Chains A and B, each alone.
Chain A
Amino acid sequence: MSNYFFFIGLPYVAIVILLVGSLFRYLNFGFKVSSLSSQFLEGKELFYGSRPFHWGIIFLFFGHLVAFLFPRSVIVWNSIPLRLLILEVVAFGFGISALFGLGMLIVRRINNKRLWMVTTKMDVFVYVMLLTQIISGLWVAYFARWGSAWFPTVMTPYLKSLFLLDPDITAVAALPLSVKIHIVSAFTLIGMIPFTRFMHFLVYPFRYFYRPYQYVIWNWDRKKIRSSRKLVNGVRSKNN
């Protein structure tokens, strides 16, 4: 029963909350969408926390994504044991990096009175969730070896079945507890995105890379309006 709840109910709820919640928050509370950087209050220790954490977590995220999207390529890559070993060691390294960074970030926040002033309950929740996620992930990587070998055959079909709206949890239900924790905390995390500062990765500024550097806005561009063919030439200003 609980398997149904955790591996079918929770994922769907989480994804719906993610989609609806993020859009709702983005459209209605744009002002509140921010990475909430605290570098301004403490800039030295942040370096040892933020960089290893972010790079670690980004690599791991894309690692999981690749294994989900291209399971066959991963299996082919792993067919040579040395390559499997390299992949696992690198991934584990990034996991350690993320854990180390997160640890530094938590210590930094606890030690710095100024940072308490900008810490919310949701920030604490975020820390707890991330800790659970990273530690359980490392645990799985170490004790349930080799993750990259069984992920494509166990996890990928399960996730795929979720997306095809035909959930099949037989394989997942048989997994060890550590893996289950990892999955459950992952979906909880996804569901909490709209309510936490996690939002900031959804607004990563991709557009910056292809827009020109300078940006000028005419609130009321008389030139454009005069040359417009429309009879009623109402053009809503872009910053409004």
Chain B
Amino acid sequence: MDIRSQIAMVFHLDKCIGCHTCSIACKNIWTDRKGAEYMWWNNVETKPGTGYPGKWEDQDIYKGGWEKKGNSISLKGAGKFKGMKNLFHNPSMPVIDDYYEPWTYQYENLFEAEEGDDQPIARPVSLITGEHITPKSGPNWDDDLAGSEEYAKNDVNFKNVTPAEQEAMFQLERMTFHYLPRMCNHCLNPACVAACPSGAIYKRGEDGVVLINQKKCRAWRMCVTACPYKKSYYNWNTGKSEKCVLCYPRLEAGQAPACHHSCVGRIRYIGVMLYDADKIEAAAASNDEDLIKNQLDIYVDPNDPKIIAAARENGIHDSTIECAQKSPVYKFVKEWGLALPLHPEFRTLPNLFYVPPLLPTMAFVDESGTYETTTDSFWGAIEKSRLPMSYMASLFSAGNEEVIKNILKKLMAVRLHRRAETVGDLPENESKDAMRDVVMDKETADAIFRLTSLPLFDQRFVIPPAHREEAMEMLESTADVKGNTGFGFKEQPVRGL
């Protein structure tokens, strides 16, 4: 047993309103620079849709993530042999056009144009070449199913959805969508780290944040290919790769990352998970159907005295253990079993979990073509959902529909329970039956309801308190400079060469 601590996240998709505030908060802080304009460390996609960069989930194109080889795993498109032989030209790396060519507008023209007969306009200019361009695609070009013929219909997750189901889905009356906010998952088995030839990418032992050392990156670009979520980006200007840093300066100060802090729908939860690092290898190499179960097994119970002892043994601070016990992520993922990793079949063991959305599945169109919203059908069976289960299963459970159905039933049971409590217009036993079906007691249902709908700020974000002294120690060892302050040595005061 090798207990470590990891900052993990839960996104409750039913609550996401697709406002992109998270992406903007991130952009303003981190990527509003030359060479980084096209990067969205945090982005929000409409599903169904092809996402950003286009078709990122299609690993036949991009060769990201790991694949199972016998009892072990190997990187799909990178690594000591596969990657290094492509060092001079990497055939599966996305290029700028797979994202979009960033642009801005010539706003100054609005003020400085010479007097004339026409209104001055602000023409779009490329942020790479500085020439006039006509933007033909961009991030969220397919927001809210815009251009669904071109985007939604090409969603990679439709490969297991029958053509008949697809046809039915795209009838105007039935069409539905949900949002999928994405960011780096700070994986337990990060493909980007494994693919980096220079050893520039590493996982921080203390909190599991995955970072790129800008001084060591040599632009071999392997991480861009290897990350199956396409969350490592190449800065064409500096010749270095960059990725989400989970706002580590904020984390170290005990604050939530900016995307979490600014989330309007309050869909984001962040907290500590204790895990057993010895189990990573086996879990990453499990069979498709066991992937989720084995990944969740890595995370251990922070209330178990044996675990606590092992955590202390590994130098995990008491306050971190305490946070792990109060972690909203632990509740959603382990206690309640409501959240799943995105595309577990990529085998990077991501630490961002999603509560699958219930809303698009509810309310359906009946045979006569009317949109059913009566309470009766409002609680209609999940089987009749507008989004086929196979679609959701392709996103969150490597094709296992039962797992998804089970979670949706739980979410439904909580709703029925609350409806019975607050409005009381449901036939007796309906909520009780639903709860019995998913083995949930009243207290749990209320707890889920409270953490979902009425959570306080510090219930959503439970980050170990600001150990300012240790934040300092992350930069340099205080013992090194103890007693030196008076002289203000910047270098170590050692004699000779």
For the complex, give the distance between the alpha carbons of A118 and B186 in Å.
Answer: 31
A47 to B221, CA, bound (A): 15
Among B193, B237, B476, point to the contact of A237 (Cβ < 8 A).
B476
Q: A38-60: which have CB < 8 Å to B? A: 38-43, 46-47, 50-51, 53-55
Q: How many A-B residue pairs have CB under 8 A?
A: 152
Q: How large is the interface on B (under 10, 10 to 19, 20 to 34, 35 or more residues)?
A: 35 or more
What is the bound-complex CA distance between A234 and B479, given in angstroms? 5
Whether a CB of chain B sits under 8 angstroms from the CB of A229 is no
Instruction: Specify which chain A residues have a CB less than 8 angstroms from the CB of B214 in the assembled complex.
Output: 31
Q: Is A145 an interface residue (CB 8 A)?
A: no
CA distance A113 to B205 in the complex (A): 43
Name the residue on A nearest B482 (C-beta).
A232
Q: Which residues 50-105 in A have Cβ within 8 Å of B in the complex?
A: 50-51, 53-55
Chain B nearest CB, measured from A40 CB (Å):
5
Of chain B, the residue at the smallest CB distance from A215 is B202
Closest to A37 in B: B219
A55 contacts across to B, CB distance below 8 A = 88
Residues of B near A46 (CB, < 8 A) are: 89
Given the interface pairs A30-B215, A117-B129, A216-B205, the reply to whether A51 lies near B89 with Cβ below 8 Å is yes
Question: Shortest beta-carbon distance, A52 to chain B, in Å?
Answer: 9
| Shortest Cβ distance from residue B331 to the other chain A in the assembled complex, whole angstroms | 27
Q: Is the CB of A214 within 8 A of B479?
A: no
Contact B473 A118 (CB under 8 A): no
Q: Which of B199, B213, B217 is A34 in contact with, Cβ under 8 Å? A: B217
Instruction: Mark interface residues in B107-146 (1 if CB within 8 Å of A CB, else 0).
Output: 0000000000000000000001111000000000000000
By the criterion of a CB under 8 Å from any partner CB, how many residues of chain A are at the interface?
53
Give the distance in Å from the alpha carbon of A213 to the alpha carbon of B199 in the complex: 9
Partner of A37, one of B96, B221, B477: B221
- B46, CB-defined interface residue at 8 Å: no
Nearest to B492 among chain A residues (CB) is A236
Whether a CB of chain A sits under 8 angstroms from the CB of B218 is: yes
CA A146 to CA B234, docked complex, whole Å: 46
Known: A31-B214, A54-B88. A237 touches B477 (CB 8 A): yes
Establish whether residues A216 and B219, one from each chain, have CB atoms under 8 Å apart when the complex forms: no
**Within 8 Å of chain B (Cβ to Cβ): is A160?**
no
**B90 interface contact, C-beta 8 A:** yes
26 CB < 8 A contacts A-B = A31-B238, A31-B240, A39-B90, A40-B224, A41-B95, A41-B236, A43-B95, A54-B88, A55-B88, A113-B129, A117-B128, A117-B130, A200-B219, A203-B198, A203-B218, A214-B203, A215-B201, A215-B202, A217-B203, A218-B206, A219-B473, A220-B474, A220-B477, A222-B317, A232-B482, A239-B202
Contacts A218-B205, A234-B477 aside, 15 further interface pairs with beta carbons under 8 A come to A34-B240, A37-B221, A37-B234, A43-B93, A50-B89, A205-B198, A205-B199, A205-B218, A208-B84, A213-B193, A213-B194, A214-B194, A219-B206, A220-B477, A223-B313
